[in-house]
Structure 1
């Protein structure tokens, strides 16, 4: 699907999402052009979101950007984005062809730096808007699926970080979208086994420093919002538009996987991969 074929932005405000985020891939851009300069920049959204369940996203923030090295740089803090003068200074000075930025409204996990997005591992970065219902009952069996290296890399307590590590476990480096599909399918199967039902909402962006990926999906068809727009010689993906230009922003449909690469933007259908008998869960489900 080409960008021109996206449906126009809906005018009805959404009331589904928690955090807010923005991501960009294209010719190098100063971070401030998404983070602080637009009329409805990410910093503005941190205290005045218009398409979110709550208007305030003040439980920390983070940015991850790619430059001359394979692994991303990262800056995170627990301060509200609007009150950190360092964030505006960094955003004004850092110019990058690919970056992720996030402001947090916590739905689980304490307000601490290692719970702030984006999360990074090697060359990969990841940020998420959404939640897993009943996560505390699923956390231990999810952690048990990780090998020692990835288990020891877990620094925080959020479902978001654990989903990122599970995607790495399931082959994110080799097949990014397929690994996310397997990760979500495994969680759905696990929730059905442990809880008897599943409610998962997942709108995420992730990158290896070459391509930018995003997924919008929910088991109840109420996924947190995702919009796309050309910005300069690149594309921007956001939780909500950065300005009031309705024609500039297209809503990405629920059940979609987005890839932004050197040849432009592509949107494809997304659905979880259910495990077959040949690929059983590798963990015993606690009673």
Structure 2
């Protein structure tokens, strides 16, 4: 469906990951070996927390319907800014139209959200799910995607207080509505969520066959494995990357996030927690 990358750690220029890696997200937009679609050219988005922003600050976003590989503005911005936490997403539209408001990541206050996957037969349950969104949040849904509705459901269900529980409750609501409409496997995907301090990366599908998801091993471990890798000098001790598919072919650099799992990444490192059961 789509491909995405999220970074957290010491501030760096996003272009180092978005453009300059062996299998960068921009490269994936043209050729995605592990994706459901090889080409992801139906727009892209880039969201980042500025280097000097304090806790609770709103992130900046840049979204476009241009293919990521052909957008000079993405290259300019990702070279110019520095950020301790950023998201980028390349889209392969599965139904909703190609328009800027349908490009990820989505933003609300200090939160960023992006999704690779779909709510199966969304049109059958769209009304029920959309009406379950809190009225104070409803006006913030600007596009037509299932992903944006899922984000606002999670916000409604307490994302700010307990992100894992809120995502669990939102997906259970999707599955309940889908099952009532006769759909056995309503939910598919990987999801990234952040408040600017912590990054939560979810891998889950109702069928137990989710899209691929990986995160990097910790930098001290990688430096021990590859002491001559000059590229690692660009990253600080707390740098961590979550991505739809590995950015390089070096063994051991990227670890697969298991099925039905949430990876929690922050200044303390990473940990995995069980997340629902298909």
Q: What is aligned with 1:49?
A: 32
Matched, 1:93 2:98: no
**Dislocated runs of 4+, deviation >6 Å:** none
RMSD value over aligned CA atoms? 1.3
The answer on whether the counterparts of 1:181 and 1:272 sit within 8 Å (CA) in structure 2 is no
Q: What is aligned with 1:216?
A: 203
Q: 1:249 aligns with which of 234, 249, 254?
A: 254
**Whole-angstrom distance in 1 between the partners of 2:277 and 2:47:** 27
**Whole-angstrom distance in 1 between the partners of 2:139 and 2:175:** 24
Using CA pairs below 8 Å that are at least 6 residues apart, which structure has the higher relative contact order?
1
How far residue 272 of structure 1 moved from its aligned partner, in angstroms, is: 6.6
How far residue 163 of structure 1 moved from its aligned partner, in angstroms, is: 0.2
Aligned length: 256
Matched, 1:37 2:24: no
How far residue 102 of structure 1 moved from its aligned partner, in angstroms, is: 0.3
Q: What is aligned with 2:265?
A: 260
Matches within 5 A, 1:129-144: 129-144=116-131
**Whole-angstrom distance in 1 between the partners of 2:59 and 2:277:** 28
How far residue 197 of structure 1 moved from its aligned partner, in angstroms, is: 2.5
The answer on whether the counterparts of 1:65 and 1:73 sit within 8 Å (CA) in structure 2 is yes
How far residue 195 of structure 1 moved from its aligned partner, in angstroms, is: 2.5
How far residue 244 of structure 1 moved from its aligned partner, in angstroms, is: 1.1
**Structure 2, gaps ≥5 residues long:** 220-234
**Whole-angstrom distance in 1 between the partners of 2:149 and 2:33:** 28
Q: What is aligned with 1:11?
A: none
Q: What is aligned with 1:12?
A: none
- Specify the SS of the correspondent of 2:252: helix
- Specify the SS of the correspondent of 1:153: coil
Q: Deviations over 1:147-177 (max 9, x none)?
A: 2221111000000000000000000000001
Matched, 1:115 2:102: yes
How far residue 246 of structure 1 moved from its aligned partner, in angstroms, is: 2.5
**Whole-angstrom distance in 1 between the partners of 2:176 and 2:85:** 34
Q: What is aligned with 1:6?
A: none
**Whole-angstrom distance in 1 between the partners of 2:245 and 2:275:** 21
Matched, 1:269 2:263: no
Q: What is aligned with 1:200?
A: 187
Are residues 272 and 139 of structure 1, via their aligned partners in 2, closer, same or farther at CA, if it must alter by over 3 Å? farther
Matched, 1:235 2:240: yes
**Structure 1, gaps ≥5 residues long:** 1-17, 274-287
**Whole-angstrom distance in 2 between the partners of 1:127 and 1:219:** 18
- Specify the SS of the correspondent of 1:223: coil
Q: 1:75 aligns with which of 47, 59, 62?
A: 62
The answer on whether the counterparts of 2:179 and 2:186 sit within 8 Å (CA) in structure 1 is no
Q: Deviations over 1:37-85 (max 9, x none)?
A: 1111111100011111211000000011002340000000000000001
